[in-house]
Amino acid sequence: MRRDRVLVVEDEDAIRELVAFHLEEAGHHVLHATDGEQAIAVARTEDLQLVVLDLMLPKMDGVAVLRELRRMGRVPVIMLTARTEEADRVRGLELGADDYMGKPFSPRELVARVKAVLRRTEPPVDSLQAGGVLLDLTAHRCFVGDREVSLTLTEFGLLQALMERPGQVLTRELLLEKVWGYDFYGDARTVDVHVRHLREKVEEEPSQPRLVETVRGVGYRFASA
Ligand code: CA
Rounded to the nearest angstrom, the distance between the alpha carbon of 23 and the centre of ligand 1 is 18
Q: How confident is the model over 1-39, as pLDDT tens digits?
A: 457 899 999 999 999 999 999 999 999 999 999 999 999
Low-confidence ranges of the chain (pLDDT < 70): 1-2, 83-90, 92, 123, 182-184, 225
Rounded to the nearest angstrom, the distance between the alpha carbon of 219 and the centre of ligand 1 is 54
Q: What is the pLDDT of residue 122?
A: 74
- Give domain limits for the chain: 5-121, 127-222
Rounded to the nearest angstrom, the distance between the alpha carbon of 71 and the centre of ligand 1 is 22
Mean pLDDT for the chain? 89
Rounded to the nearest angstrom, the distance between the alpha carbon of 19 and the centre of ligand 1 is 13
Contact 36, 9 (CB under 8 A): yes
Region 127-222: CATH code: 1.10.10.10
Region 5-121: CATH code: 3.40.50.2300
Rounded to the nearest angstrom, the distance between the alpha carbon of 110 and the centre of ligand 1 is 16
**DSSP bridge pairs for 75:** none
Q: What is the pLDDT of residue 195?
A: 97
CA angle 21/26/28 to nearest 5° reads: 80
Q: What is the pLDDT of residue 183?
A: 66
Task: Output the CA–CA distances (angstroms, integers) from residue 165 to 121, 161, 173, 191, 220, in the order listed.
Answer: 22, 7, 16, 17, 11
Q: What is the pLDDT of residue 1?
A: 44
pTM: 0.59
Three-class secondary structure of residue 131 per DSSP: coil
